[in-house]
Amino acid sequence: MKHLFLGLLTTLSVIIYSCGDNASTAKKEETSHADHAEAEENTEVKVVKASFSNVDAAVAAHTKKITDNYLQIKNALTSGNANEAGSAAKNMFEALKGFDKSLLSADQKKVYDQQEAGLKENAEHISKSTGDIEHQREHFSSISEGMYALVKAFGGGKTLYHDHCPMANDNKGAMWLSETKEIKNPYFGDKMMTCGSVEEELQ
């Protein structure tokens, strides 16, 4: 009887220890998942400063103006408004056409000239395609690349976020600039508003 009692006691001890060990393992895994989620949340976005720090005030005002026009196009496409996108693109085209490039240094002019023709062409396409928002979005992908290069060089007059959606542009991926950290996708609008992630913060 005594041996039976000791046997039962030993078995019970092993079960209790085993359960406690499993609970401890589960708790460790839970903590690990929580730490991983927290690490993802706290991932710092790379901050990029404009490469030209000695920009003339009129040049800074110009880049701010076309950046504002660009953001109006982006917001119109996000809300699915082709007419507003066209109007903002027309304003952007006019601003680009009227810019005095003599205000630029030789290095600045070289960077600006690399993007100017593409920005004008895509702005004109978007302004004339108010009946086809998908066509506007195709050109928005190209105009975004040009604006990204320009903002990285001259700044945009405010903090901007470089966003990227891997599913845009027929799953080839496409980027855009935004004035807010919250993802609002201009390529899909309401269909997939939050598709994308912040790649960089441009200052």
Per-residue pLDDT of the chain (203 residues; tens, 9 = 90+): 444 334 433 443 433 333 334 334 333 333 333 333 333 344 688 999 999 988 999 999 999 999 999 999 999 999 999 999 999 999 999 999 999 999 999 999 999 999 999 999 999 999 999 999 999 999 999 999 999 999 999 999 999 999 999 999 999 999 999 999 999 999 999 999 999 999 999 99
Task: Take residue 132 and report the two structure tokens written for it.
Answer: 């086809």
How many C-alpha atoms does 160 have within 13 Å on its Cβ side? Answer: 28
Q: pLDDT value at position 97?
A: 95
Q: pLDDT value at position 178?
A: 98
CB-based burial label for 77 (10 Å; 0-12, 13-18, 19+): buried
pTM: predicted TM-score of the whole model, two decimal places: 0.79
Please give the C-alpha separations between residue 164 and each of 18, 114, 156, in angstroms, as whole numbers.
Answer: 48, 22, 18
Q: pLDDT value at position 43?
A: 65
Q: pLDDT value at position 45?
A: 86
